[in-house]
Structure 1
Amino acid sequence: MATLEEEFTLSTGVLGAGPEGFLGVEQTDKADQFLVTDSGRTVVLYKVSDQKPLGSWSVKQGQSITCPAVCNFQTGEYIMVHDHKVLRIWNNDDVNVDKVFKATLSAEVHRIHSVQRTEPLVLFRGGAARGLEALLVEPQQNIESVIPDEEVIVWSEVFMLFKQPVLIFITENHGHYYAYVRLCKSHSLSKYTLLLEKEEKSVKPNFTARVDGKFISLVSLSSDGCIYETLIPIYSSDTEQNQRLVRALMLKSVVSGGVRNGVALTILDQDHIAVLGPPLSASKECLSIWNIKFQTLQTSKELPQGTSGQLWYHGEVLFMLHGKSLTVIPYKCEESSLAGALGKLKHTQESGTHSVPHFVNWETCSGYELGSSGAEQSRTLRRKKVETNLQPEVPGFKQLLSIIKKDSEKHIEVELRKFLAKSTPAFHTIIGDLVAGLVGRCKAEPSFYPRNCLTQLIQTHVLSYSLCPDLMEIALEHTDVQMLQLCLQQFPDIPESTTCACLKLFLSDSTQDEKKEMEEQIEIVQNGFGPEDGNCSEDSQQLNDKPADTAHEPGSFPVTSCPVAPKRAALLNAVLHSAYSEPFLLPHLKDIPAKHVTLFLQYLYFLYLKCTGSATMTLPGVNPPTVSQIMDWICLLLDANFTVLLMIPEAKRLLLILYNFVKSQISIYSELNKIAVSFRELQRLNREKSSRGLYSIEVLELF
């Protein structure tokens, strides 16, 4: 998913935005500082986190800046061109631009491009390009013209590819557009003809691009409101000059067709694109982020004061001219996946479960509270001292630690039960130290494994993975699946690698006569699993009951019985409830054997059919997984193992079935997203209602 955060305005009192906005916003060698060039005479250095300018430089009256100022990442100096041919270089210590380094060039400059790991590149209006250092050695050197006189450069960009700068620029000649690609080190230049629709020749398209392997992916926003992609080869053969490139539709109808102004776009990453312009059935501009991979609208923000049709992005920050002010909008884009496109929900705490504290209040532990006065602190200390004299807060803690180090497992279990019964420990660290002592002895003595003691400590509900990171590692070594299940249920901060290790163990932990257990529902007591384990018996027993309205679907797997035994179903459900972050989980899911992935997908598909067969959209049992959790894990497994699954004959039929219902889910979520945008528009209209009218008719059009 993608989100737009709260916007803020930079101080623009020293800037003068013309009718077409600013000349540009460029990154400096400091991550939080940007150069903003207005359409007149001024360049301002902003620190975005402070929302204020750090410096301002202006050319003399009668002069004008003709291309955006940039930063030389190799030296930290600033560079700009005024009056098309005059080059200026300065730094933060300079106050008067008229007194800084000056070089008059022999040809007019279109733009200066500066990217990291290389020197700035100067692009001239005739299509020639020079490195800054070579240009400064001889400013009046002859600059050749590589494009016809009738062609005008309308857009350009520089990328780094294998430590070599690659320059691309687009030219226009009477409604015809051409793309030029220059490899700066080899000085090779390739020309391509861009095939656009006839009706676009009177409308200036918007361009953005990114490097995609051996191609430059040129993306354009056309007059019909659609986004198209053209793949331009970086390394071209000499067999054919001026090749004609055909474009392909990327996104359909993202803005209203025929819009002339206030439209722009920029690629944020390989799966997301930001679009500036009025959406369908709307007149005001909006900033929206679209998922290219799944063609879904992720988020949008209305801009009631209008824009100049300019959009810049650097890092995770978007810049635009909103009204007369330079507006900054931070954004976040998660790695694109099926789960993200479906609208993955945050895991919320289920009602009736014990609240697990996430943090330790160290001020409270030490007897001090933030913001309390000296008298209050003194009273607190005196009160705790009296309570300690009457009854120790943690009696026998040091003695218990010494017992853990040397006594037998049975003796430790007895003393630990007494300790927990006689006191109510208030600190997470006390229980954490006890677990650390037990786990440390487990590592030192492989034959020592006090699982009952560890279970008692986990069930105090005060532990987390960060307090005892080695506990689950020991449980994995001993194949203690019940211990792992308890940890998955209790710990809020388990790393994705450990969660995936538990999943691999659960999928490979085959018990004897599992098939017989599935058919006869025999209760097996193994590793602590028994009738008292509600997740293992009640949930799975109800799961295996045949639903009244579910039978065999054509070409589908039977859903009358669960594809795994009740014990394994309970273990897998614990994994489904665990918290995770997709970018960290996906690499570990690729290590699961293909046959186990297929089995897990069959189980998830079974859960999905059981869940959708119920009007309440929930599964039976004490703590069943939700539809969102089931769909998320299906998508995660497909994202991580799709290529491998294609090679397995028994998985092909399952993939076809999953493809159909995932496609339907994407369509549903896409429509719901559109409805949500419409409802936000309705709420805005309700707030803007005027009380002057006595009667009105309003028509709300949902798109």
Structure 2
Amino acid sequence: MAALEEEFTLSTVFLGAGPDGLLGVEQSDKTDQFLVTDSGRTVIHYKVSDQKPLGSWSVKQGHIITCPAVCNFQTGEYIVVHDSKVLRIWNNENVNLDKVFKATLSAEVFRIHSIQGTEPLVQFKGGAVRGLEALLAEPQQKIETVISDEEVIKWSKFFMAFRYPVLIFITEKHGNYFAYVQMFNSCTLSKYTLLLGQEEKSVIQSFTASMDRKFISLLSLSSHGCIYETLIPTHPSDTEKNQKVARSLLLKAVVSGNPRNGVALTVLDRDHVAVLGPPLPASKECLSIWNIKFQTLQTSKELPQGTSGQLWNYGENLFMLHGKFLTVIPYKCEVSSLAGALGKLKYSQDPGAHAMPHFVNWETSQEYGLGSQNSEQSRRNLRRRKIEVSLQPQMPASKQLLSAIKKDSEKHIEVELRKFLAMKQTPDFHAIIGDVVTGLLGRCKAEPSFYPRNCLMQLIQTHVLSYSLCPGLMEVALEKTDVQMLQLCLQHFPDIPESVTCACLKIFLSIGDDSLQEADISMESVFDYSDSAQEEKMEEQTEILQNGFNPGEENCNNCDQELNEKPQDATEEITSCPVIPKRAALFENATMTLPGIHPPTLNQIMDWICLLLDANFTVVVMIPEAKRLLINLYKFVKSQICVYSELNKIEVSFRELQKLNQEKNNRGLYSIEVLELF
């Protein structure tokens, strides 16, 4: 399960973003601070929690910054390159970039890479890489060319793999793409050709990558809106040859083909990716999170002011240009499960609780008691509450609940569970619920007489559980023939195996009516069915006159002659449903939460079924059992025609009267008129 939280603008200062957006957003040595480089002359240092800049530096008029500024995590200094070859290094104390350290290099720089745990690396446009210290010792040293002629670097990323740095970069030449992997622990450079299928011949618009022990997972977003994955080994078998790696389709049609402002892709965790781009050709820009494990769309947010097609991800915060201002959208990604991918893990919040925002908006903070005249009183109240809490040492409710499950009675466990569920949810809420269910089911198996069904019912309704998380729950309910709990599981668990569903159906069919009458089963799914059945029964017993017309008169009687040719003592056929309402409630509750962005509605499904019936109408007519139905339908249609005909006559008469009243103008004369309707 993934969620996008409320966005906020990092700065209301207009950024000098060019037609291609910003040069980059890079993390500083403080987790809450970032360096933003525009496409012109300026580097701005932002603090996210305060939503304001801490510093700003610009190069002189006539110069231009050509790669994003980064932070040297070993020294806390900042590094930037302008005019492709001039390297500058400064810190927060410096005000003017013209007076800071300067080094002119012998080759053009593609970008500077800097991550925690190692020194910064300078990557040149020819593919060669130098450590910052070695480069500063001899700035004019000769830089070799690694890539071939007309080969252009499109994207690169720097990793730390088991304490050793790894660099991967992608190049393009005449529509062909190549991946280079440089392992700095063994000083090896491997080249791979990305094989594209005939149906995959399209421009690759965005790259992102993640790394595990054996492979680099390279994800690419093509111009026709599909995401592909390429697995590149971290320990190649032959580093001398140009090896070939194939792409596999990971997600199809996540954005529209040929978008107006470009698209972007970034990895959030092992199972989730964020995609920036319009979902349909005519739609607005949209930020969406996809689960690549189950191939489902988790959440999305429309960006009506448009974007630059750039996306950065740091510490559960997504950075992008929304319009012309830098915007931050916090996100959350839960551990991937089938229930979460299908959107069945729901989060509840106390409606009376007033949620505190993640980042303080100082203009509207008075509603939370910040910066107001009552701030001193608020601080005193806060100190008093802290003292009260400190004077009441108590075991946490979750530990009390888990302790009670082991030895206490069902009633006491139910009380402790209510206490726990009434408290504000903590980040470990899902894990605690799983431990509680595991403890209850374990004691059920150890003690056959122990069956806390009320507790289990409450836990199911928290929308946290799924079949894959607690398969033993439905097994216990099947053993106990607990149809109410089975019905609840079928309504809340999206990942129930077919075999378990069949076992539930067998119980629903085999259980006696007397047992069902005593069971407390939800009847919402058959409420309308019961009412309509009662109405049909009343219509059969009572002859209804509508608008003064009797459908049994004149020409509507002839169609019943064949049906009325029966023996006098024949009893009237009485049709009744063989399934009682409570058993029907176990069968007819169909959820319409279908997967996909635009699932079909119930009306669309019914229209499709009707088309199938229309195509086989001749077969239906030839069935003997359908004869009575067809005759009744024919009689009903003719009666409606008669009613509508009479109504049409009345309507025409009223229209003629209206015309007469409009034409006459008696001008105050007295008259009496008699109108006859025929």
**In the aligned structure 1, how far is the partner of 2:152 from the partner of 2:70?**
22
Judged with a 3 Å threshold, the aligned counterparts in structure 2 of structure 1 residues 8 and 476 are, in CA distance, closer, same or farther, namely: closer
1:138 is matched with 138
CA shift, 1:175, in A, is 0.9
Paired residues of 1:345 and 1:628 also in contact (CA < 8 A) = no
2:80 is matched with 80
1:491 is matched with 420
- Using the size of structure 2 for normalisation, the TM-score is 0.63
**In the aligned structure 1, how far is the partner of 2:45 from the partner of 2:55?**
5
* Larger deviation, residues 472-481 vs 228-237: 472-481
**In the aligned structure 1, how far is the partner of 2:159 from the partner of 2:86?**
25
Is 1:220–2:243 an aligned residue pair? Answer: no
Deviations 1:76-95 (A, max 9, x none): 11000111111110000101
**In the aligned structure 2, how far is the partner of 1:349 from the partner of 1:18?**
43
Deviations 1:138-190 (A, max 9, x none): 21222111111221101000111000110000011111110000002221000
Paired residues of 2:297 and 2:596 also in contact (CA < 8 A) = no
CA shift, 1:312, in A, is 1.1
Paired residues of 2:219 and 2:230 also in contact (CA < 8 A) = yes
* Larger deviation, residues 271-280 vs 201-210: 201-210
2:520 is matched with none
5 Å-filtered alignment, 1:589-668, equals: 599-603=472-476, 610=483, 625=488, 627=490, 629-631=492-494, 668=593
Paired residues of 1:484 and 1:502 also in contact (CA < 8 A) = no
5 Å-filtered alignment, 1:29-68, equals: 29-68=29-68
Q: Secondary structure at the match of 2:596?
A: helix
1:194 is matched with 194
- Using the size of structure 1 for normalisation, the TM-score is 0.61
The one-letter amino acid of 2:53's match is: P
Q: Secondary structure at the match of 1:485?
A: helix
The one-letter amino acid of 2:275's match is: V
Judged with a 3 Å threshold, the aligned counterparts in structure 2 of structure 1 residues 599 and 56 are, in CA distance, closer, same or farther, namely: closer
The one-letter amino acid of 1:114's match is: S
Deviations 1:532-577 (A, max 9, x none): xxxxxxxxxxxxxxxxxxxxxxxxxxxxxxxxx8x35445335435
Is 1:126–2:117 an aligned residue pair? Answer: no
Judged with a 3 Å threshold, the aligned counterparts in structure 2 of structure 1 residues 573 and 96 are, in CA distance, closer, same or farther, namely: same
Judged with a 3 Å threshold, the aligned counterparts in structure 2 of structure 1 residues 338 and 511 are, in CA distance, closer, same or farther, namely: closer
1:671 is matched with 596
5 Å-filtered alignment, 1:345-384, equals: 345-346=345-346
Is 1:573–2:457 an aligned residue pair? Answer: yes
Q: Secondary structure at the match of 1:40?
A: coil
CA shift, 1:276, in A, is 1.0
CA shift, 1:64, in A, is 1.0
Judged with a 3 Å threshold, the aligned counterparts in structure 2 of structure 1 residues 144 and 605 are, in CA distance, closer, same or farther, namely: farther
**In the aligned structure 2, how far is the partner of 1:5 from the partner of 1:372?**
28
Judged with a 3 Å threshold, the aligned counterparts in structure 2 of structure 1 residues 37 and 496 are, in CA distance, closer, same or farther, namely: closer
1:181 is matched with 181
2:615 is matched with none
Q: Secondary structure at the match of 2:147?
A: coil
Q: Secondary structure at the match of 1:160?
A: strand
CA shift, 1:298, in A, is 1.4
CA shift, 1:486, in A, is 2.8
Paired residues of 2:189 and 2:239 also in contact (CA < 8 A) = no
1:289 is matched with 289
Paired residues of 1:343 and 1:669 also in contact (CA < 8 A) = no
Q: Secondary structure at the match of 1:205?
A: strand
Judged with a 3 Å threshold, the aligned counterparts in structure 2 of structure 1 residues 224 and 134 are, in CA distance, closer, same or farther, namely: same
**In the aligned structure 1, how far is the partner of 2:42 from the partner of 2:376?**
53
CA shift, 1:327, in A, is 1.8
CA shift, 1:6, in A, is 2.0
**In the aligned structure 2, how far is the partner of 1:350 from the partner of 1:163?**
45
Deviations 1:478-523 (A, max 9, x none): 3544422332234324966765555444334468995xxxxxxxxx
**In the aligned structure 1, how far is the partner of 2:54 from the partner of 2:94?**
13
Paired residues of 2:81 and 2:87 also in contact (CA < 8 A) = yes
Q: Secondary structure at the match of 1:141?
A: coil
* Larger deviation, residues 568-577 vs 293-302: 568-577
1:148 is matched with 148
The one-letter amino acid of 1:276's match is: L
Deviations 1:94-116 (A, max 9, x none): 01111111111121110101111
CA shift, 1:132, in A, is 1.0
1:109 is matched with 109
5 Å-filtered alignment, 1:130-529, equals: 130-197=130-197, 203-238=203-238, 241-259=241-259, 261-346=261-346, 466=396, 471-472=400-401, 475-476=404-405, 478=407, 480-492=409-421, 493=423, 502-509=436-443
**In the aligned structure 2, how far is the partner of 1:607 from the partner of 1:12?**
62
Paired residues of 2:45 and 2:54 also in contact (CA < 8 A) = yes
Q: Secondary structure at the match of 1:573?
A: helix
Paired residues of 2:109 and 2:124 also in contact (CA < 8 A) = yes
Deviations 1:47-77 (A, max 9, x none): 1222221111111111111100001111111
CA shift, 1:262, in A, is 2.4
Give 5+ residue unaligned stretches, structure 2: 354-372, 381-387, 505-589, 602-678
Larger-gyration structure (1/2): 2
1:98 is matched with 98
Judged with a 3 Å threshold, the aligned counterparts in structure 2 of structure 1 residues 153 and 505 are, in CA distance, closer, same or farther, namely: closer
The one-letter amino acid of 1:573's match is: M
CA shift, 1:296, in A, is 1.2
**In the aligned structure 1, how far is the partner of 2:202 from the partner of 2:277?**
19
**In the aligned structure 2, how far is the partner of 1:572 from the partner of 1:103?**
69
**In the aligned structure 1, how far is the partner of 2:191 from the partner of 2:160?**
19
**In the aligned structure 2, how far is the partner of 1:60 from the partner of 1:373?**
48
Paired residues of 1:488 and 1:578 also in contact (CA < 8 A) = no
Aligned positions, number: 484
**In the aligned structure 2, how far is the partner of 1:39 from the partner of 1:97?**
17
CA shift, 1:668, in A, is 3.9
**In the aligned structure 2, how far is the partner of 1:102 from the partner of 1:330?**
37
The one-letter amino acid of 1:328's match is: V
Judged with a 3 Å threshold, the aligned counterparts in structure 2 of structure 1 residues 339 and 123 are, in CA distance, closer, same or farther, namely: same
1:549 is matched with none
Q: Secondary structure at the match of 1:491?
A: helix
The one-letter amino acid of 1:572's match is: L
Give 5+ residue unaligned stretches, structure 1: 357-369, 378-428, 437-464, 515-525, 527-564, 590-596, 612-618, 639-651, 659-664, 677-703
Judged with a 3 Å threshold, the aligned counterparts in structure 2 of structure 1 residues 202 and 254 are, in CA distance, closer, same or farther, namely: closer
Q: Secondary structure at the match of 1:670?
A: coil
**In the aligned structure 1, how far is the partner of 2:445 from the partner of 2:307?**
65
Identity %: 59
Paired residues of 1:28 and 1:34 also in contact (CA < 8 A) = yes
Paired residues of 2:181 and 2:189 also in contact (CA < 8 A) = yes
Deviations 1:621-649 (A, max 9, x none): xxx94655444xx68xx9xxxxxxxxxxx
CA shift, 1:325, in A, is 1.8
Judged with a 3 Å threshold, the aligned counterparts in structure 2 of structure 1 residues 22 and 349 are, in CA distance, closer, same or farther, namely: closer
Judged with a 3 Å threshold, the aligned counterparts in structure 2 of structure 1 residues 295 and 500 are, in CA distance, closer, same or farther, namely: closer
The one-letter amino acid of 2:475's match is: Q
Deviations 1:592-623 (A, max 9, x none): xxxxx654342467999957xxxxxxx69xxx
Paired residues of 2:191 and 2:239 also in contact (CA < 8 A) = no
* Larger deviation, residues 275-284 vs 334-343: 275-284
